């Protein structure tokens, strides 16, 4: 395979049939890929009897997706009231739900307690806040932020010291002592140091930091952690030149550190949890769009029938998403285009100065790796409406798993307010 290309999980023939049924743009998800990936992850951590993946609902908040992942043994990681409600509706309850939030409104803690979800406290002040809002549960987790800069070898991966999440070491030691005094019986820890890492070294390095802290917590507070949540951060290669993470190597790397740090400290029964979103779903989603305009001014532009409402990452972060012009995979990439949406914002571009084959009006384009933080980040600027979501089932058939928004949806919050006297 050409190292500079990515192969869509759907063929041109398949897609031609699908667009006859569902008008573009839409997000398409690959059920087969999602299930196989979930099974690989499970296999990678099978050495840990209590292991569980809590899928980050924020990445792809769709009930059908949650159902698939539930069937594969996953729980949910929720960050808001509506994510808790969606999880509840899909049959997740108690130990199946992690609630990790920051700047948390009281009603969200109330809902998490109602569902008996495992609450992950972001800040030491949240102990009092939670106690007042919903009472302290018997099981709780705290989020750690080591501060400073997180490096792997010579590469700076991220800057936890700048992040708004988690507690300092002194705070987390105090938090466990206070929670123990308040009657908590089961404790966990959680941390997130870097986003979208494409290296097999990240999780083992994070695990080592957390495992060593877990031993220190036991020594200093007498609190023995029951679980350690490595959170997310294992990423996907958005550019075609990068090798994807090998989850089996990552799982083994965490296993090695577990045996080196936790087992000698008499903590060989600690459960390992993960909260992956992008890794679980990213590569298994495509945004399918159609070329509807070509414009030649100081640059060559291809206008498509989607915009940043459907996929915000390129506009927001300048993020790269690979594009395949369907049916032209073998043609030379001898044209340079900006691929744009229709928002009144100049950053509404899916690609800038991208080498692609010649694009004709009506061509179908697949924008890759939109399975996580794709549809989910959409908004309604310019009165634009969010697209449908479609599942490509294992047997090759398709299911509509979310309809496209309509103008009626957009105007729903204004019903009853059209005729206000001012």
Domain range 12-27+283-407, its CATH number among 1.10.3720.10, 2.60.120.620, 3.65.10.10, 2.40.37.10: 2.40.37.10
With a CB cutoff of 8 Å and minimum separation 6, the contacts of 92 are: 66, 70, 75, 76, 115
Q: How confident is the model at residue 2 (pLDDT cuts 50, 70, 90)?
A: very low
Residue 347 DSSP SS3: coil
Separation of alpha carbons 372 and 276, rounded Å = 10
Of 43, 64, 89, 6, which is closest to residue 286 (Cα–Cα)?
6
**Average pLDDT, integer, range 265-286:** 97
Query: What would the pLDDT profile of 180-215 be if each residue is shown by its tens digit?
Result: 999 999 999 999 888 899 999 999 999 999 999 999
CA dihedral 19, 20, 21, 26 (to 10 degrees): 20
- CA dist., res. 234 & res. 55, Å (int): 13
User: What per-residue confidence (pLDDT) applies to 158?
Assistant: 75
Q: Rounded mean pLDDT of 133-152?
A: 92
What digits encode the pLDDT tens for the residues 121-140?
Answer: 999 999 999 999 999 999 99
Annotated domain spans of the chain: 12-27+283-407, 31-282
pLDDT digits (tens, 9 = 90+) for 367-409: 999 999 999 999 999 999 999 999 999 999 999 999 999 999 9
Q: How confident is the model at residue 149 (pLDDT cuts 50, 70, 90)?
A: confident
Q: Looking at the predicted structure, is the pLDDT value of residue 3 above 90?
A: no
Rg (CA), the chain: 23
Tell me the C-alpha distance between 9 and 401, whole Å: 18
Mapping DSSP to helix (H, G, I), strand (E, B) and coil, where does residue 114 land? helix
Domain 31-282 sits in CATH 3.40.1110.10: no
Q: What is the pTM of this model?
A: 0.95
Give all strands (DSSP E) within 7-65, no chain letters: 26-30, 52-56
pLDDT, mean over the chain: 96
Concatenate the DSSP letters of all residues of 258-295 into one string: IIIIIGGGT-TT-EEEE--SHHHHGGGEEEEEEEEEEE
* Range 328-335 average pLDDT: 97
């Amino acid at each position: 395979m050409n190292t500079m290309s990515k192969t869509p999980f759907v063929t041109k023939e398949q897609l031609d049939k699908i667009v006859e049924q569902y008008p573009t743009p839409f997000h398409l998800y690959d059920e087969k890929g999602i299930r196989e990936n979930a099974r690989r992850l499970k296999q990678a951590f099978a050495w840990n009897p209590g292991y569980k993946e809590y899928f980050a609902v924020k990445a792809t908040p769709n009930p059908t997706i949650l159902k698939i992942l539930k069937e594969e043994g996953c729980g949910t990681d929720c960050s808001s009231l509506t994510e808790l409600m969606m999880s509840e509706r899909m049959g997740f309850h108690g130990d199946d739900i992690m609630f990790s939030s920051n700047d948390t409104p009281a009603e969200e803690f109330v809902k998490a307690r109602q569902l008996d979800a495992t609450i992950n406290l972001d800040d030491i002040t949240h102990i009092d806040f939670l106690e007042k809002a919903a009472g302290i549960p018997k099981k709780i987790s705290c989020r750690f932020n080591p501060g400073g800069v997180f490096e792997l070898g010579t590469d700076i991966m991220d800057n936890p010291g700048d992040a708004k999440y988690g507690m300092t070491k002194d705070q987390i030691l105090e938090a466990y002592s206070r929670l123990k005094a308040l009657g908590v019986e089961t404790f966990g820890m959680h941390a997130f140091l870097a986003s979208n890492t494409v290296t097999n070294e990240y999780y083992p390095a994070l695990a080592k930091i957390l495992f060593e802290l877990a031993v220190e917590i036991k020594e200093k507070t007498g609190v023995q952690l029951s679980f350690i949540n490595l959170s997310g951060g294992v990423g996907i290669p958005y550019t075609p030149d990068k090798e994807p993470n090998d989850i089996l190597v990552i799982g083994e790397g965490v296993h090695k550190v577990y045996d080196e740090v936790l087992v000698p400290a008499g903590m060989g029964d600690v459960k390992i949890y993960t909260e992956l979103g992008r890794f679980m779903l990213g590569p298994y989603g495509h945004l399918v769009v159609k070329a509807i305009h070509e414009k030649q001014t100081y640059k060559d532009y291809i206008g498509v029938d989607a915009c940043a409402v459907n996929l915000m990452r390129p506009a927001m972060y300048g993020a790269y998403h690979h594009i395949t012009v369907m049916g032209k995979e073998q043609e030379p990439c001898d044209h340079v285009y900006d691929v744009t949406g229709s928002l009144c914002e100049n950053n509404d571009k899916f690609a800038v100065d991208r080498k692609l084959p010649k694009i004709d009006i009506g061509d179908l384009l697949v924008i890759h790796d939109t399975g996580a933080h794709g549809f989910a980040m959409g908004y309604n600027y310019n009165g634009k409406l969010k697209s449908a979501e479609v599942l490509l089932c294992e047997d090759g058939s398709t299911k509509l798993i979310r309809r496209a928004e309509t103008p009626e949806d957009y105007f729903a919050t204004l019903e009853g307010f059209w005729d206000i006297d001012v």
